[in-house]
Amino acid sequence: MNASSTLVTSRPDRSLTKTDRVARGLGWFSLALGLTELVAPGKLGKALGLEGKETLLRAYGGREIGAGMWALSDTPAPAIWARVAGDLVDLGTLAYGLKDADEEERRNNFIALAAVAGITVVDLLTAMSLTAEQSEQKGETGRDYSDRSGFPQGLDKARGGAGQQAVPVDYKVTATEERTREGQRELEPA
């Protein structure tokens, strides 16, 4: 068994899957990207045609760091879905940056758009895989069991089964029947 498959998780019943490892890699990537956005938003904004949007880039950096820490947890699927949503926001922001960009900024922006689109595909595939793994662990297999009764010998065999059993004495109700004026029966305690 290699060392990477025996990383400690709060799920002692299984080791990390390949998808878990990809999610961890995305977590570390998020931390590095977030740190870059926090530390150097001016340089990043200038390169991408987003000058004057430093506060926005810092906010994106905080989002990336949060998603990165969450992706390194033992339940990374929600964090990776958050990354997918963040990637879509990033794509929109980068597309906005094309509006007033000069030639060099446009080139950098197209490179960034291609990179974010690529990582979005990786994030999406990882999120879908993690969600499928979690569903399998919870027993949500997608199979239809609506035609099953849950009775080992079948539903027909179970019908009337309770009537064949003797009712215990402490389950019996002692009451007297009395006719009411309307002809209905009413139970009264004895």
Mean pLDDT of the chain: 80
Identify the band that residue 74 occupies on the pLDDT scale cut at 50, 70 and 90.
Answer: confident
Cα gap 122→135, rounded to integer Å:
20
What pLDDT score does 173 carry? 62
Please state, in angstroms and rounded to a whole number, the distance separating the CA atoms of residues 117 and 91: 7
CA 142 – CA 105 distance, rounded (Å):
48
pLDDT at 179 over 80: no
Mean pLDDT computed over 13-17: 69
pLDDT value at 52 more than 80: yes
Is-above-0.75 flag for pTM?
Answer: no
Is the predicted pLDDT of residue 14 greater than 70, yes or no? no
